[in-house]
């Protein structure tokens, strides 16, 4: 069968995926559960790699992946499908040429939606941010995960159809903590049907490897950016702000503009201010004023990316540094513990 729906992804891992000890360990845990027939749920704050890991685990299963993203507007029909008009079948029987018999059969026409297609065809369902859908929209999952049956409503309210769930069907879920805006409290019965792996911020080694892979910066510079961003968390707002995404943005701007991760480099200082100050302001300035936050960012730059005393940092002659070769890893350095990552410039953060 050829899957042409836009939500069906081929099982091809991304080329810049970074696999450190931490990532391999979480992947192996999740794969173990999925292969034992238990759906897995990655839960954690923004930017800890839930979606990336869910797709990575799904790709390991080597089945087409059906991707769904939770939405407050979803009803059950957005998962299961809906009746879309009627199908008319006409049978003309003129076996005996003098007699013409016509039979009309009008039946409701059902159009599958993503969950139904995944159940019928045995796809791997990745339901990203599933708690952004209202709990009642996700009810169909209860019998899918427990009894292996998808119940399809019939236009006649007294009847239902059942779709047996294909044995290759698996489901991987992600969610943000319930205190996040727009996240619903999912029903306990659904949580009981999956194994939840709580993810926290990446370790420094993984974060550095990701930033390096996603920007093309050298390992040493990626590490400087990561240390600065990590240091800003307790000072400016907490683990779910200034995530690896902030570090990736800063690193990509440096790589693109030939700037240096050192105090005194105007591009570096400006992008740190924009990204870190902006992120703090996004949720109320952490009880500080914008001016104080800017000063704290400047202080963090001085502490974690000090420039050589008394001179401005050297700027690269060409604006883009895509041709730079990352410096070889030193023993015990972050790159020692990660797979080589594709250095190509990523399309998005």
Q: Provide the binding-site residues for Mg ion, judged by CB under 5 A.
A: 51
With CB under 5 to 8 Å by kind, the binding choice for 16 among Mg ion, ligand ATP, none is: ligand ATP
Number of residues that bind ligand ATP (CB under 6 A): 19
> Judged by CB, which is closer to ligand ATP: 183, or 329?
183
Reported in sequence order, the residue ranges of the chain that DSSP labels E, i.e. its strands, are 8-9, 40-43, 65-69, 81-93, 101-112, 124-128, 149-153, 160-164, 170-175, 195-198
Q: Give the interface segment with ligand ATP, choosing from 92-100, 181-189, 241-249, 313-321 (CB under 6 A).
A: 241-249
x-or-dash pattern for ligand ATP, window 161-190, by CB under 6 A?
Answer: ---------------x--------------
Question: Which residue stretch of 210-218, 225-233, 270-278, 321-329 sits at the interface with ligand ATP (rule: CB under 6 A)?
Answer: 210-218
> Does the footprint of ligand ATP cover residue 349 (CB under 6 A)?
yes
DSSP secondary-structure letter at 344?
Answer: S
Closest to Mg ion by CB, 51 or 83: 51
Q: CB–CB of 76/139 below 8 Å?
A: yes
Closer of 125 and 259 to Mg ion (Cβ): 125
Nearest to 149 by CA among 138, 164, 166: 164
Residue from 210, 254, 267, 271 in contact with ligand ATP (CB under 6 A): 210
Taking the least distance from each CB to ligand ATP, the nearer of 43 and 296 is 43
- Quote the least distance from Cβ 158 to ligand ATP, whole Å: 41
**Burial tier of 285 (Cβ tally within 10 Å: 0-12, 13-18, 19+):** middle
Q: Report whether 297 contacts 334 (CB < 8 A).
A: no
By CB neighbour count within 10 A (0-12 exposed, 13-18 middle, 19+ buried), where does 71 fall? middle
123 binds ligand ATP (CB under 6 A): no
213 binds ligand ATP (CB under 6 A): yes
Question: How many whole angstroms separate alpha carbon 239 and alpha carbon 258?
Answer: 29
Residue 46 or 270: the one with the smaller Cβ distance to ligand ATP is 46
CA angle in degrees (0–180, nearest 5) for 20-209-236: 110
Closest-CA residue to 23 (of 61, 67, 56): 56
Using rule CB under 6 A, residue 126 touches ligand ATP: no
Which of Mg ion, ligand ATP, none has residue 60 at its interface (CB below 5 to 8 Å by kind)? none
How far is residue 241's CA from residue 218's CA, in Å, rounded to a whole number? 24
The minimum distance between CB 244 and ligand ATP, in angstroms, equals 5
- The residue (of 150 and 244) whose beta carbon lies closer to ligand ATP is 244
The Cα 37–Cα 170 span in angstroms is: 7
Contacts (CB under 6 A) with ligand ATP, residues 17-76: 17-18, 23, 46-52
Q: Which of ligand ATP, Mg ion, none sits in contact with 213, Cβ below 5 to 8 A by type?
A: ligand ATP
CB atoms within 10 A of CB 292: 13
Minimum distance from residue 17 beta carbon to ligand ATP (Å): 5
Q: Which residues, at least 6 apart from 59, have a Cβ–Cβ distance to it below 8 Å? A: 11, 12, 13, 65
Q: Shortest gap between Cβ of 47 and ligand ATP (angstroms)?
A: 5
Choose, by CB under 6 A, the member of 41, 43, 245, 252 that binds ligand ATP: 245
Beta bridge partners of 83: 110
Calpha distance 216→324 (Å, rounded): 8
Shortest distance in whole angstroms from residue 138 CB to ligand ATP: 18
The dihedral formed by the CA atoms of 226, 229, 234 and 240, expressed in degrees to the nearest 10: -100
Strands 124-128, 65-69: parallel, antiparallel or unpaired by DSSP?
A: parallel
Q: Which chain residues interact with ligand ATP by CB under 6 A?
A: 16-18, 23, 46-52, 176, 210, 213-214, 244-245, 248, 349
């Amino acid at each position: 069968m050829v899957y042409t729906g836009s939500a069906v992804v081929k099982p091809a891992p991304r080329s810049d995926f970074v696999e450190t000890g931490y990532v391999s360990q979480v992947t192996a845990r999740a794969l173990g559960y999925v292969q034992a027939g238990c759906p897995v749920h990655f839960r954690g704050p923004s930017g800890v790699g839930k979606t990336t890991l869910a797709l990575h685990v799904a790709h390991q299963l080597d089945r087409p992946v059906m991707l769904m993203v939770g939405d407050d507007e979803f009803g059950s029909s957005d998962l299961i499908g809906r009746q879309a008009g009627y199908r008319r079948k006409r049978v003309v029987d003129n076996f005996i040429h003098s007699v013409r018999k016509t039979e009309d059969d009008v039946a409701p026409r059902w159009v599958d939606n993503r969950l139904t297609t995944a159940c019928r065809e045995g796809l791997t369902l990745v339901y990203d941010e599933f708690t952004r859908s209202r709990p009642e929209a996700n009810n169909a999952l209860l019998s899918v995960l427990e009894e292996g049956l998808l119940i399809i409503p019939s236009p006649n309210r007294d009847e239902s159809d059942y779709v047996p769930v294909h044995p290759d069907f698996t489901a991987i879920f992600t969610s943000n903590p319930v205190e996040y805006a727009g996240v619903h409290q999912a029903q306990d019965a659904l949580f009981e049907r999956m194994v939840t792996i709580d993810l926290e911020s990446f370790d420094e080694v993984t974060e550095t490897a990701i930033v390096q892979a996603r920007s093309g910066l050298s390992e040493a510079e990626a590490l400087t950016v990561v240390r600065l961003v990590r240091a800003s968390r307790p000072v400016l707002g907490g683990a779910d702000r200034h995530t690896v995404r902030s570090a990736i943005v800063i690193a990509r701007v440096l790589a693109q503009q030939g700037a240096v991760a050192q105090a005194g480099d105007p591009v570096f200082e400006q992008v740190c201010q924009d990204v870190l100050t902006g992120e703090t302001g996004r949720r109320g300035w952490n009880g500080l004023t914008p001016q104080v936050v800017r000063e704290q960012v400047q202080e963090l730059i001085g502490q974690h990316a000090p420039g050589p005393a008394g001179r401005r940092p050297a700027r690269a002659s060409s604006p883009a540094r895509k041709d730079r070769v990352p410096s070889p890893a030193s023993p015990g350095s972050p790159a020692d513990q990660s797979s080589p990552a594709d250095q190509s410039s990523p399309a998005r953060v």
